[in-house]
Amino acid sequence: MGIAVLTMKASVIEMFLVLLVTGIHSNKEMTKKIKRPKFTVPQINCDVRAGKIINPEFIVKCPAGCQDPRYHVYGTDVYASYSSVCGAAVHSGVLDNSGGKILVRKVAGQSGYKGSYSNGVQSLSLPRWRESFVVSEGKPQKGVTYPISLTYSSSKSPAAKAGETTKAYQSPSAPGTTAQPVPLMQVLGTTAVEGTHTTLPKPPPSAGSTTSSLRPQPVGQRSQELDFWSTTTYTNSQNTPTNPGIQGQDSGAAFQKPGGEPELWKPGSVLLDAGFVPKTELSTQSLEPVSQGDPSCKVDLSFLIDGSASIGKRRFRIQKQFLADVAQALDIGPAGPLMGVVQYGDNPVTQFNLKTHMNSRDLKTAIEKITQRGGLSNVGRAISFVTQNFFSKSNGNRGSAPNVAVVMVDGWPTDKVEEASRFARESGINIFFITMEGASENEKQYVLEPNFANKAVCRTNGFYSFSVQNWFSLHKTVQPLVKRICDTDRLACSKTCLNSADIGFIIDGSSSVGTGNFRTVLQFVANLSKEFEISDTDTRIGAVQYTYEQRLEFGFDVYSTKPDVLNAIKRVGYWSGGTSTGAAINYALEQLFKKSKPNKRKLMILITDGRSYDDVRIPAMVARHEGVITYAIGVAWAAQDELEVIATHPARDHAFFVDEFDNLYKVVPKVIQNICTEFNSQPRN
Ligand SMILES: *[C@@H]1O[C@H](CO)[C@@H](O)[C@H](O)[C@H]1NC(C)=O
């Protein structure tokens, strides 16, 4: 009897663990799979990128027809995980265009991928990527169990395409033979295990405690018993639950609202959702699996919190609670989002950087310990500080993850934010603004920069800003914020195809062009330039004219407005002479692109009307090597084969030919369209 109960208990525990691992698989499915040891190979489409698949090693079946330029491939032999899995297999020669099985193994990210042409596929170069993979013949290795369905990292449409989005499944028939324990950890960390689970076995989870999504449960669904922090720290809730926002406490000095307002607290509203780990449970931490983080939300995040005196103790605590909730909902970890915190007042200080605490639970403990610094509300200064100091490699910035800064503002800033924010965005930081209890009508006179939040973010459509009426409703912002932060495809909004390039024109000034045609060429250069957003922080334009010799007409840093650039183009004087295009490319690399900013796309647009007297092959290779994307525009006597050598691959996107100068205008929209298509299809950091 006793034994029977024990066995039953054990099997219940086992079942619980199995449920944890598989997340959503029902018992029935489980038994079915256990009874079917035969290995089936999952199938994918040609467009599936390796990065979308979490499994470190797997065999998949590719369909026919993956040898198509639509399926972008980056690298040679070792491919960036941004590449199409099947496309890379064709490129490497493991697969032909009729499809078949392949073995894929993930390997570490590289600092550079070289493009090459092989087996009918042109792969592209990529400066760096966070993860790579190699492909080989689809033969199972001895002693390795391959997943019979793949784990996808997409959080956007979990069940969109049948057969593509099945959840993780480690065949239980051969325990201990999986290739690596990593996916198991990830699954544990991102599905049912929350920081509050202890080693004590619990009864099989009910529907309420097993989530079906990869994301942790939304705030507010957890039971109160787990919230030690809120129920102990915030028991002084006898104060009148009035609305603190509209009480006129915020009037007074222009740039500093009085602090020390009565500690208001609405029982049962925000802090019951507190996610802090009860202190009594901290000792069991090491026994629990630590989450690797949500891999579908890999961002490097800096939270700028308001520590100014005016915010008051109570609100400061709500702010900390918000931070902890966001950390929890994001599922912080080395394979997912990382988060650091900067507190600002008169001056900003880093509370901790991206690598100080690399999981949600440690973060929460650290956040709890943050003390308010007081002072003014110098938000602009804080943003500049973050741009210059926070996202450094030594602070744990990974480079392969988008940089995001979330700025919390109580009321309004005491300094200007527009300039600092623009500079931050220019450096590739995606800024979110959360304004709590913004200025009311009669307070607006005190605000230094009206509409500061809109000026700080990169689009005014509301995606990057939240306006919270009242501190006590801040918790409602947790989920929307997390959703937007993790929508990494929409980030990098600060950079578009029109505002993020350094464009160098290389203009053939040889005698064959003739004065009249030269004017047409300049008109062409001006028409292309007009399409871009030009300023010292947006797109910049430079120009070189060449014959046998070369001269710098103007560098990237000379003109910072569109009218100035257009005037400068108009003033370029016709030189007349020979045509040494190769030397001109070398010269432009040296004189123009060496001075390009690291966060800019380098575009070279070369216009010529004849065959070069010197070699263009090597200069073109050097340009590619230096990350310069080259467009070659040929007119009249230009040699098409030479244009194709000069242009970036694929040539049909980067080399254009028109038979006469009067037709040059037709190329303008084509070039612009290609620049933008290519920009939008590139992976972004
Ligand atoms: C430049 O734009 C003007 C005005 O749209 C047009 O008339 C002209 O043909 C264009 N020239 C070239 C070379 O693109």
C-alpha span between 308 and 304 (Å, rounded): 12
Give the mean model confidence (pLDDT) for residues 449-460.
Answer: 77
- Nearby residues of 326 by Cβ (< 8 Å), 6 or more positions away: 303, 339, 406, 478, 481, 482
Q: What's the CA gap between 139 and 59, in Å, rounded?
A: 8
pLDDT of the residue at 82: 86
Q: Which residue has its alpha carbon closest to ligand 1 atom 10? A: 665
Give the position, in ligand 1's atom list, of the atom nearest the Cα of 667. Answer: 14
Candidate CATH numbers 3.90.78.10, 2.60.40.10, 2.170.130.20, 3.40.50.300; the one for domain 50-162: 2.170.130.20
- Cα 202 to Cα 332: distance, rounded to the nearest angstrom: 25
How many Cβ atoms sit within 10 Å of the Cβ of residue 223?
A: 10
CA-proximal residue: ligand 1, atom 4 (nearest): 527
Question: For position 290, what pLDDT does the model report?
Answer: 79
Identify the pLDDT of residue 452: 85
- pLDDT on residue 677: 77
Mean local confidence (pLDDT), 104-108: 92
Q: Please state whether beta strands 465-468 and 501-508 pair in parallel, antiparallel, or not at all (unpaired).
A: unpaired
Query: What does the pLDDT average to over 3-29?
Result: 47
Tell me the C-alpha distance between 42 and 52, whole Å: 14
What is the average per-residue pLDDT within 457-475?
84
Q: Does residue 244 surpass a pLDDT of 60?
A: no
CB 668 near ligand 1, within 6 Å: yes
What mean pLDDT comes out for the span 460-475?
86
Closest CA to ligand 1's atom 11: 665
* CA 384 to mean position of chain CA atoms: 21
Report the separation in Å between the CA atom of 600 and the middle of ligand 1, taken as the mean of its atom positions. 27
- Looking from the CA of residue 661, the nearest atom of ligand 1 is 13
Residue 539 has pLDDT above 80, yes or no: yes
CA distances (Å), origin 194, targets 187, 291, 318, 360, 502: 12, 9, 22, 10, 47
- Residue of the CA atom closest to atom 7 of ligand 1: 665
Cβ(637) – ligand 1 distance below 6 Å: no
Reply yes or no on whether the pLDDT at 84 is more than 80: yes
Q: Which of 7, 3, 15, 23 is nearest to 203 (CA)?
A: 15
How much is the pLDDT for 489?
60
Average pLDDT over residues 211-227: 31
Determine the average pLDDT of the residues in 399-413.
88
Write the DSSP symbol of residue 623: H
Percent of the chain whose predicted confidence (pLDDT) is above 90? 49
Among residues 667, 635, 665, the alpha carbon closest in space to that of 513 is found at: 635
Instruction: Tell me the sheet residues that pair with 129.
Output: none
The predicted pLDDT at position 661 comes to 96
331/221 Cα distance (integer angstroms) = 16
Q: Which atom of ligand 1 is nearest to the CA of 528?
A: 14
Q: What b/e readout covers 35-51, taking b as 16+ CB neighbours within 10 angstroms?
A: eeeeeebbbbbbebbbb
524 lines ligand 1 (CB under 6 A): yes
Three-class DSSP category at 402: coil
Report whether pLDDT(273) > 80: no
| Average pLDDT over the chain, rounded to an integer | 77
Residue 253 has pLDDT above 60, yes or no: no
Q: Is 665 in the pocket of ligand 1 (CB under 6 A)?
A: yes
**Would you give the DSSP letter of residue 26?**
-
> Is the CB of 635 within 6 Å of ligand 1?
no
Single out the residue of 71, 67, 60 nearest to residue 100, CA to CA: 60
Query: What's at 177, amino acid-wise?
Result: T
Q: Is 303 in the pocket of ligand 1 (CB under 6 A)?
A: no
- For atom 8 of ligand 1, the residue with the nearest CA is 665
Residue 640 alpha carbon to ligand 1 centre in Å: 24
- Kind plus residue range of the DSSP H or E element containing 188: helix 182-190
Q: Which residue has the tokens 């005016």?
A: 310
Among protein residues, the one with the nearest Cα to ligand 1's atom 14 is: 665
Mark 143-176 as b/e (b = at least 16 C-beta within 10 Å). eebbbbbbbbbebeeeeeeeebbbbbbbbeeeee
CA of 523 to the centre of ligand 1 (A): 6
Q: Which helix (H) or strand (E) holds 675?
A: helix 667-681
Sort 447 into a burial class: Cβ within 10 Å, 0-12 / 13-18 / 19+: middle
Of the pLDDT bands very low, low, confident and very high (cuts 50, 70, 90), residue 535 is: confident
Test site for ligand 1: of 513, 517, 518, 523, most ligand atoms within 8 A of the Cβ: 523
Residue 667 CA to ligand 1 center (angstroms) comes to 10
Q: Which of 665, 668, 671 to mutate to test the pocket of ligand 1 (most atoms within 8 A of CB)?
A: 665
CA of 650 to the centre of ligand 1 (A): 27
At 510 the pLDDT is 94
Asked whether 661 lines ligand 1 (CB < 6 A), one says no
Count CB neighbours of 409 within 10 A.
Answer: 27
Q: Is the CB of 517 under 6 A from ligand 1?
A: no
pLDDT of residue 676: 79
Cα–Cα distance measured from residue 262 to residue 638, given in angstroms and rounded to the nearest whole number: 79
Higher pLDDT, 654 or 168: 654
- Kindly give the number of the ligand 1 atom that is closest to the alpha carbon of 520: 13
Closest-lying ligand 1 atom to the alpha carbon of residue 527: 1
- The CB of 316 under 6 Å from ligand 1? The reply is no
How much is the average pLDDT of 658-676? 93
Q: By alpha-carbon position, which residue is closest to atom 3 of ligand 1?
A: 527
Task: Look up the pTM and report it.
Answer: 0.41
Question: Is residue 372 lining ligand 1, measured as CB closer than 6 Å?
Answer: no
Binding site membership of 523 for ligand 1 (Cβ less than 6 Å): yes
Residue 665 CA: nearest ligand 1 atom is 14
Pairing label, strands 131-137, 78-80:
antiparallel
Query: 366: helix, coil or strand?
Result: helix
CATH 3.40.50.2000 fits 297-494, yes or no: no
Atom of ligand 1 nearest to the CA of 666: 14
CATH topology match: 50-162 vs 501-680: no
Q: Residue 370: pLDDT above 80?
A: yes
Which class is domain 501-680? alpha beta
| CA 291 to centroid of chain Cα atoms | 20
**Is residue 633 pLDDT above 80, yes or no?**
yes
| Residue 527 CA, ligand 1 centroid: distance in Å | 6
Q: How far is the CA of 566 from the centre of ligand 1 (A)?
A: 13
Span 189-217, mean pLDDT?
34
Q: What is the secondary structure of 297-319 as a DSSP string?
A: ---EEEEEEE--GGGHHHHHHHH
Domain boundaries of the chain, sorted by first residue: 50-162, 217-276, 297-494, 501-680
Whether residue 329 has pLDDT greater than 60: yes
The better pLDDT of the pair 419, 522 is held by 522
